[in-house]
Structure 1
Amino acid sequence: MPHVPQIRIPATYIRGGTSKGVFFNLEDLPEAAQLPGAARDALLLRVIGSPDPYGKQIDGMGGATSSTSKTVILSRSIKPGHDVDYLFGQVAIDKAFVDWSGNCGNLSAAVGSFAISAGLVDASRIPRNGVAVVRIWQANIGKTIIAHVPITEGEVQETGDFELDGVTFPAAEVQLEFLDPAADEDGAGGSMFPTGNLVDDLVVPGVGTFKATLINAGIPTIFIDAQALGYTGTELQDAINGDPEALARFETIRAHGAVHMGLIEYVEQAAQRQHTPKVAFVAAPADYQSSSGKTVAASDIDLLVRALSMGKLHHAMMGTAAVAIGTAAAIPGTLVNLAAGGGERSAVRFGHPSGTLRVGAEARQVNGDWTVTKAIMSRSARVLMEGWVRVPGDTF
């Protein structure tokens, strides 16, 4: 019986922040996958190696974690005032599912450099030496991101001495500005706080009732006090990911929080929306040892944050969740702000499992409603491999 040969598709494998993903130029995709739908999803699943009942993604480019099971599609922007349209697909590991409901803040750091290298940014906007300002339209959530990409001799500079906790080697710094990051899709109604409250009583049948800050900024996020969950906020991955009961409890909290935020109608729908919302727990500063063995001193941070992504505790911090943290910290009265000591602040440095991260946000109150004009953080990005990915010709 004859079998179809493999086809090859131009692709680039890039680390952005503390994530890795396969990047595509939209025009390089097979015609059937250039439009949203089943063919595109099937292609990306096969590229990454999902669904994999073994949970390893051995037969694909994925790394069997939420941070490394990611895809990006870029194209010249059709949005006025923007250079590139950026679409992010979070690929489930053990299920045949690609979640398009949110952005990846970490991979956002690689979008500008890929866009420049792929010729998607007008050459007149690229200096010979200096910093290229790339205007990105984040198509998943309809928001603008500004990437400041270092350029040397007309080429993207990837090497440097900027260190990012959660990434082993230093690289060039890429500053990101997330403009007006409050989410406004999927029933969030454009409000940063979809319930109208800075703190809600989140009732989770069979689990408990928790004080929670439910915020749409960067990515929809549910913040809960670590102590209310029986944690200190200094936990590393194994403490959570090695506890099936804890993971099930967090998923139940996430599902009910999604309903409370108006993102879904019924808790059962949460299974088809794994990427959003995120769940995070916060605590006041405390000394702890990061996953690399480095000591993080309480005096060096404003608060502790641990966040889950795709059902597991993240090894560092998602970039979009960092936007939510910075935004919530800037608004007096949220659980994040209170964990950081309360009061007004324009930036926080928080401790996560791999170390620390600083994020700033400009928030203000207008007619009784809180708005945030932008959130700012620094990341780095590096091309790991470029060429073609191959998939069986009957994949899609």
Structure 2
Amino acid sequence: MSHAPQIKIPATYMRGGTSKGVFFSLADLPPQARTPGPARDALLLRVIGSPDPYGKHTDGMGGGTSSTSKAVILSKSERPEHDVDYLFGQVSIENAFVDWSGNCGNLSAAVGGFAIASGLLEAARIPENGTCAVRIWQANIGKTIIAHVPITNGQVQETGDFELDGVTFPAAEVQLEFLDPAEEGEGGALFPTGNLVDALEVPGVGTLQATLINAGIPTIFVNAAELGYCGTELQGAINNDAKALEMFERIRAHGAVRMGLIAHAEEAGKRQHTPKVAFVAPPSGYTASSGKAVKTSDVDLLVRALSMGKLHHAMMGTAAVAIGTAAAIPGTVVNVAAGGGERQQVVFGHPSGTLRVGAQAVRDGDAWRVTKAIMSRSARTLMEGWVRVPGDAF
């Protein structure tokens, strides 16, 4: 009996923010995977090791969590004033599908460095020393991201002393600017319902005060107290509670309907990456998962967010954009939790520690518009070479 041999595909395994993913140049993919469709999805599923009923990704490059089951495809951009096109795929762990509905803000921090190292930027754009502003077109959501990548002796500088809670070792700081981050596609405007706060009816849960926002990634914000939480919870308190996970998925599904992302709550299972659901609370002290003490005075508010059905160990980068945007607009549940008033930045507490994010929001008639969100992350190349997959896997 004959078996298909393995093929090898040039790839780079990178950490970006608090996530990890497999990065590809579009031109390096097998021809049938260079365009969207079943072949591309099947290839990425096999690369990551999904679907895996054991939830471990033992036979692939994934790590069995939403933060580590990710893939990125980059190519030179043909858009004016952009250097590279960035496409992100969130690979389901238990099911055979790839969710292309949103961006990964954490891996956005690694895009600039990969693009430079892979020769996707014009040499004239890269200084010998200093910072290279990589102009990224985020193809999933049709938005621009500017990544400020440090350069030393003409090469990407990845080491440094910038510390990011949720990441074990320090590295070089990469500042990200998310320009006009409100998603105006299928979910509509910044606030798809037209309201800063909605009464969200969730069968079996009740009616919750919720802010439904499209910024960075569609996100549903609710108050921790309404759910019986205090906002200081760590992963175990949520992820080991099957009833809690079911409740949050129900909130997410009904919020997605209210945002116009799906027609019926039952469709949410086929759209796991978006929207996100998060709960917020006023400042309070707690001990982070690393053992770090977070004091009440260290933060403006507390936020806990779920990704792919589980409480995130830190904070998704795109959700941080949503947090910063909502905090900047008086009256949202996020803004109220942070003490109200107008503000251009907040420091919020998450399970691994704290994070600062800024946003510039302006009133445009009766509506709000956000022009920019800014945060700092770090990124590092972990391994580069080839990834191997069976030749008949896609």
Give the distance between the partners of 2:181 and 2:110, measured in 1 at CA: 19
Task: Tell me the secondary structure at the aligned position of residue 380 of structure 1.
Answer: strand
The equivalent of 2:63 in structure 1 is 63
SS at match of 2:55: coil
Letter in 1 for 2:306: L
Partner of residue 291, structure 1: 289
Q: Which amino acid aligns with 1:346?
A: Q
| Among candidates 206, 211, 222, match of residue 220 of structure 2 | 222
**Partner amino acid for 1:192?**
L
How far did 1:268 drift?
A: 1.2
Q: Secondary structure at the match of 2:339?
A: coil
Counterpart in 2 of 1:30?
Answer: 30
Residue in structure 1 matched with residue 2 of structure 2 by the alignment: 2
RMSD over aligned Cα, in angstroms? 0.4
Q: How does 1:44-193 map to 2 (within 5 A)?
A: 44-186=44-186, 188-189=187-188, 191-193=189-191
Q: Indicate the SS of the match to 2:362.
A: strand
C-alpha distance after superposition, 1:148-186 (max 9, x if no partner) = 000000000000000000000000000000000001122
Identify the residue that residue 277 of structure 1 maps to in structure 2. Answer: 275
State the AA in 2 paired with 1:26.
Answer: L
Q: What stretches of structure 1 move > 2 A for 4+ residues in a row?
A: none
Gaps of 5+ in 1: none
1:185-234: per-residue Cα shift (whole Å, max 9, x none)?
22x22x10000000000001122110000000000000000000110000
Distance 1:122 1:360 in 2: 30
Separation (CA, whole Å) in 2 of partners of 1:350 and 1:57: 32
Alignment of 1:195-274 (within 5 A): 195-274=193-272
Shift of 1:93: 0.3
The alpha carbon displacement at 1:382 in A equals 0.1
Q: Deviations over 1:40-95 (max 9, x none)?
A: 00000000000001111100000000000000000000211100000000000010
CA distance in 1, matches of 2:155, 2:91: 31
Instruction: Report how far residue 124 of structure 1 moved.
Output: 0.3
Question: How many percent of aligned residue pairs carry the same amino acid?
Answer: 78
Partner of 2:377 in structure 1?
379
- The TM-score with structure 2 as length reference comes to 1.00
Q: Give, in angstroms, the shift of residue 308 of structure 1.
A: 0.1
Q: Deviations over 1:104-159 (max 9, x none)?
A: 00000000000000000111000000000000000000000000000000000000
Aligned counterpart in structure 2 of residue 327 of structure 1, from 325, 332, 342: 325
Q: Which amino acid aligns with 1:124?
A: A
Q: CA deviation at 1:357?
A: 0.1
Distance 2:282 2:204 in 1: 27
Cα deviation for residue 37 of structure 1 reads 0.3
- Gaps of at least 5 residues in structure 2 are none
Amino acid of the structure 2 residue aligned with 1:243: D
Equivalent position SS for 2:313: coil
> Equivalents in 2 of 1:363, 1:207: separation in Å?
32
* TM-score (ref. length: structure 1): 0.99
| d(CA) in 1 for partners of 2:165, 2:6 | 39
Q: How does 1:315-394 map to 2 (within 5 A)?
A: 315-394=313-392
